A and B are shown apart, each in its own frame.
Chain A
């Protein structure tokens, strides 16, 4: 509030008028009705889907080979152990992607002519690795690089992590670059006018705002990476997916895959909720008040 007549001194709200009370009543009734409609329609869809699946001719066989609780319980310890490897790979890969992705984004955003070769290199890199299927990168890195014979013997999960960092850095770099471009040029002007260098401007003014703008997109990439970490199993690393595969072969039952799948969903849930909360908070901040 500014000015001599700054309004809005806190007051005890007067009792609502008759009209307002009626409106509130109507809104409450309508609110209740919407809740009832949505609950009932959800139930109908869920029940119909359930009976639709259960009454298919092959349900008994499918239930036995995919939803066997005993097999699930027996395979759980090994799969959990494997999942711990996934979590560790995810942790290392996240740091790698954050560093490498930011570097790529910054290089692609350089304007000076001197940086032209670097910029081309970064552009070529993101073009290549965004287009290349992760599985092929995994094969190339996991079997190709050790095959050169210059590296010491390293575990397959190490090469898997490298492959994931290579691929996901290119996605993250593009997201960050979009965010940096979305920061209004006047912000750069203001920062440079204070005497900040190009690097300082980037680090202190542009990147923080850019990251805020693209947080939902980055979180989306993170969740996607979280499950793609399961692909390191094709290099022979014994992660959750690989453990499930072993259990499936032993028990000739597909339930372990379902267990591994559910565990992946479970570990991604907290982050998905956090992402939603961040997005909501941003939305609130940008639309203070207002009914639309």
Chain B
């Protein structure tokens, strides 16, 4: 498989155990360039674990993770270098409270990617400008609302142009009226061609933005496809039950 045709991310037979429980039972998943994939499923279905294994924040017990065709689950591959190619946004934002917003955003560019301060800060300010938070560049994260913090966290993740963006329940910790501003930003990223693998509970949003929806059930992908197909004509009984509960 050459670099040209390789998908951005390919998971092959991914398995993960915690003690005696197998949380991921052979996941196969392909994410192509510019695709937005929404992973849905009940809590405990392995969604978050799946995302963590992709950038090796969680070790795997079997299977392979291929990033642009490179087997990054090979122990010979430098994990830090792999993680530097992937942007991650967490449910709880995880901004560094002891750094200004600007320093949060420029940290990886300057310390990992070796970009000069002036250039990194110019990029960061431009990105903050775009999300309407330029005025907060010199503020500390605790001055920001949850929605603002999460948008900064997204900007931090994309500041060094990752090949893939992982979003883990990025709106779950937010007040309902703040969810929109974060989802709007994700939609904008899609329009700009980002490749995104995300978990979400926002079915309406998933329908609007996802190229494909993947339903995870007891550690397995039991159904996937175009949003309309998955959400409107679910085949698997577990998916039907899940959708019934979510819409209730």
A residues in contact (CB < 8 Å) with B: 1-11, 13-14, 16-17, 19-20, 23, 26-27, 30, 289-292
Stretch at the interface among B20-28, B124-132, B136-144: B20-28
Q: What residues on B are CB-neighbors of A1 within 8 Å? A: 44
Chain B, residue nearest A30 (CB): B75
Q: What residues on B are CB-neighbors of A20 within 8 Å? A: 61-63
Within the complex, the shortest CB–CB distance from A24 to chain B, in Å, comes to 9
A7 partner, pick from B13, B23, B52, B58, beta carbons under 8 A:
B23
Q: What residues on A are CB-neighbors of B25 within 8 Å? A: 11
B residues in contact (CB < 8 Å) with A: 13, 15, 17-18, 20-23, 25, 41-46, 52, 56-59, 61-64, 73-76, 79, 217-219, 238, 241-242, 245
How far is it, in angstroms, between the C-alpha of A57 and the C-alpha of B245 when the chains are bound?
84
Known A3-B42, A291-B57; judge A17-B13 contact (CB<8 A): yes
Within the complex, the shortest CB–CB distance from B79 to chain A, in Å, comes to 8
Within the complex, the shortest CB–CB distance from A266 to chain B, in Å, comes to 39
Chain A, residue nearest B242 (CB): A5
How far is it, in angstroms, between the C-alpha of A107 and the C-alpha of B76 when the chains are bound?
56
Known A10-B20, A17-B63; judge A5-B58 contact (CB<8 A): no
Q: What residues on B are CB-neighbors of A27 within 8 Å? A: 75
How far is it, in angstroms, between the C-alpha of A219 and the C-alpha of B242 when the chains are bound?
51
Are B63 and A19 in touch, CB under 8 angstroms? yes
Chain A: interface secondary structure? loop
Are A8 and B22 in touch, CB under 8 angstroms? yes
A-B contact count (CB 8 A): 83
Q: What residues on A are CB-neighbors of B217 within 8 Å? A: 5, 7
Are A6 and B21 in touch, CB under 8 angstroms? no
Are A291 and B242 in touch, CB under 8 angstroms? no
Q: What residues on A are CB-neighbors of B45 within 8 Å? A: 3, 5, 7
Q: Which of A5, A10, A27 has the most CB of B within 10 A?
A: A5
Known A5-B45, A5-B218, A26-B76; judge A13-B22 contact (CB<8 A): yes
Q: What residues on B are CB-neighbors of A4 within 8 Å? A: 42, 238, 241-242, 245
How far is it, in angstroms, between the C-alpha of A1 and the C-alpha of B74 when the chains are bound?
31
Given known contacts A5-B238, A7-B219, what 10 new A-B pairs fall within 8 Å (CB)?
A: A4-B245, A5-B45, A5-B241, A8-B219, A10-B20, A13-B22, A17-B13, A19-B64, A289-B18, A291-B59
Q: What residues on A are CB-neighbors of B62 within 8 Å? A: 14, 16-17, 19-20
Known A7-B217, A26-B75; judge A2-B43 contact (CB<8 A): yes
How far is it, in angstroms, between the C-alpha of A58 and the C-alpha of B242 when the chains are bound?
82
Q: What residues on B are CB-neighbors of A9 within 8 Å? A: 21, 218
Known A4-B245, A8-B18; judge A290-B57 contact (CB<8 A): yes
A–B Cβ pairs within 8 angstroms, 24 of them: A3-B45, A4-B238, A5-B42, A5-B44, A6-B42, A6-B44, A7-B21, A7-B23, A7-B42, A7-B45, A7-B217, A7-B218, A8-B23, A9-B21, A11-B25, A17-B13, A26-B75, A27-B75, A289-B58, A290-B57, A291-B56, A291-B58, A291-B59, A292-B57
How far is it, in angstroms, between the C-alpha of A92 and the C-alpha of B218 when the chains are bound?
57
Known A3-B44, A17-B63; judge A8-B76 contact (CB<8 A): no
Within the complex, the shortest CB–CB distance from B221 to chain A, in Å, comes to 12
How far is it, in angstroms, between the C-alpha of A9 and the C-alpha of B218 when the chains are bound?
8
Q: What residues on B are CB-neighbors of A23 within 8 Å? A: 73-75
Chain A, residue nearest B239 (CB): A5
How far is it, in angstroms, between the C-alpha of A142 and the C-alpha of B61 when the chains are bound?
64
How far is it, in angstroms, between the C-alpha of A291 and the C-alpha of B57 when the chains are bound?
5
Within the complex, the shortest CB–CB distance from B202 to chain A, in Å, comes to 17
